[in-house]
Each structure stands twice: as C-alpha cells, then as structure tokens.
Amino acid sequence: MHRAVLRLLVAAIILYAFISTASAGTAYVAQPQQPNSTTLVQALSDSSVSQILLLTNYSVNDELDQFKDRPLQINRSVSISGAPGLPPASLPVLDLRWKRGKLALCSSCVFEFKDIVVANERQGVGPAFDVFVGKPGSVVATRNIYRLRLACTNAQYTSDVVSSTRRSAVLPGSGSSEAQQQQTVDATYQGRSYPGSLFTRNLTADIPFVVQEGRGPSGGYAVVSSTLHSPDHI
C-alpha cells in the first residue's frame, strides 16, 4: 500500500518534471483559442516565453493596436515557428496585417521566424518587417520561411532589389566584396508549383530607423533572412 502510493508519487513527480521541461519557455498560440493556447500578445508579454509554436493559421487582427503609442517592449530573444517537421503545405500562416512599429526589440534581442509562412509583414519589396522597431544590435532572423505576397512582384525585380541591398554592417558576411546569396527555384506551395520563385538563401541588411508621418517609427534593426518568396494565389 505504502509502496503503491510511493510509486504513484514518484510517477507523478517524473511526469511533472517532464511536463514542465517540455513546456519551459514555450507558448502555444492558436486561432481560435485552444485549451492549451494563448494569444500572440499574451505569449510575447510573458518574459518566460522564448519559443512560440503556432498551432494554426493566425492573424494579428487588431490585438497589436493597443501598442499604438507605446510599442510592446521585448527584452529577450524569441523564436516563432510552426510545429517541427511540418511539410511546406501545412506550415501555419502568420498574417501581420501590415502593423507597424508595435514590437520593440532590445539591443541584444534576436527575433526569429522559422518554418512558418509570413504574410503582410510589409508593403512593397525588401526584407524589413514593419512590425518591429529596434536598437543597434537588434536582429530579426528568418530561417526556412515562406513569404506570401499579395501581389506577385516579378522575381527578377525583387532579385534586383536584393542584389542592390547593402549587406548588414553588423552581421557575418559584411565585407564589401560579399554579395547577397539568392537564387531562383521552382517552388511548390499548397500543391501548386511556382516556377522561378526567388529564394534569398542568405540575405542580410540593416533596416534604417524611420519615422513615418502619422504611422510612427519602425526599423532600426538588422535582418538576416533565408526566405522563399511565394506569390499569394488567393
């Protein structure tokens, strides 16, 4: 009897240790909410969260609008991704709704997007994510992401813009002889093929800090990007 209780207790402790290790620093974000999920803002506001797993497609809608006059300060590195091992067709889509200057990164903070599809992160071409405002040293990194474009700009045009973008002065490969690393590939997304899509394999840039009349500041961070640019087919 005692032994059984003890065994149960040991099992409970092991299970507890397992659960707390598995979830340490990880938040699940979903839309609509699930029993184990939070909103993106809740996850970003919790300073113990360093990894955000997106369980579903997610649009920030208006949840960032509360940071209109004062961006949400992020003082740690955070990574946001889909569940590991998903095939490209199942990667969740994070729609940033062209929000601008709502998330402030500290000078040693790296904000990473990986294994995910990102939509509406900015108007126009270029590697910036308008939602961020940074300090010298802040980095926005993308690894194996797809960017959905509303209007498919010509891959050659985007490629020309990338080629003429100066590499970041603060990230590896900054020498004046270093070129942006990009290629055109035949991409498949959601079962459709997109020949001649642009893959920026290793693109870096310093995004200047700018204040846009009526829309507030954004920029002021460096970007390192490994991204496949896909046209939106909707």
Is residue 81 within 8 A of residue 54, CB to CB? The reply is yes
The 3 state secondary structure assigned to 170-209 is CCCCCCCCCCCEEEEEEEEECCEEEEEEEEEEEEEEEECC
Residue 25 neighbours by CB distance under 10 Å:
14
Return all residues near 127 (Cβ < 8 A) that are at least 6 apart: 162, 165, 200, 203, 205, 207, 223, 225, 227
Specify the stretch interacting with ligand NAG by CB under 6 A; choose among 7-15, 28-36, 125-133, 152-160: 28-36
Name residues contacting ligand NAG, limited to 120-179 (CB under 6 A): 172-173, 178
Binding string, 195-224, against ligand NAG, x = CB under 6 A?
-------x---------------------x
If the CB atoms of residues 6 and 72 are measured against ligand NAG, the closer one turns out to be 72
Q: Tell which residue, 124, 83, 110, has the closest CA to residue 229.
A: 124
Q: How far is the CB of 47 from ligand NAG (least distance, A)?
A: 6
Binding residue for ligand NAG, selected from 39, 50, 57, 153, defined by CB under 6 A: 57
Examine residue 88 and tell whether it contacts ligand NAG (CB under 6 A).
Answer: no
Strands 78-82 and 51-54: parallel
If the CB atoms of residues 48 and 164 are measured against ligand NAG, the closer one turns out to be 48
Binding residue for ligand NAG, selected from 3, 5, 20, 35, defined by CB under 6 A: 35
Q: How many residues bind ligand NAG (CB under 6 A)?
A: 17
CB-nearest residue to ligand NAG: 173
Q: How far is the CB of 3 from ligand NAG (least distance, A)?
A: 32
Binding residue for ligand NAG, selected from 36, 154, 163, 212, defined by CB under 6 A: 36
- The residues that bridge with 140 in the sheet, in sequence order, are 111, 223
CA distance 171 to 168: 6
If the CB atoms of residues 47 and 163 are measured against ligand NAG, the closer one turns out to be 47
DSSP characters for 63-132? TTGGGSSSPEEE-S-EEEEESTT--GGGPPEEE-TT--S-EEEPTT-EEEEEEEEEE-SSSSSSS--TTE
Q: How far is the CB of 170 from ligand NAG (least distance, A)?
A: 12
Binding residue for ligand NAG, selected from 137, 190, 216, 217, defined by CB under 6 A: 190
CA distance 200 to 183: 7
Q: Which residues bind ligand NAG (CB under 6 A)?
A: 28, 34-36, 47, 57, 73, 75, 93, 106, 172-173, 178, 190, 202, 224, 234
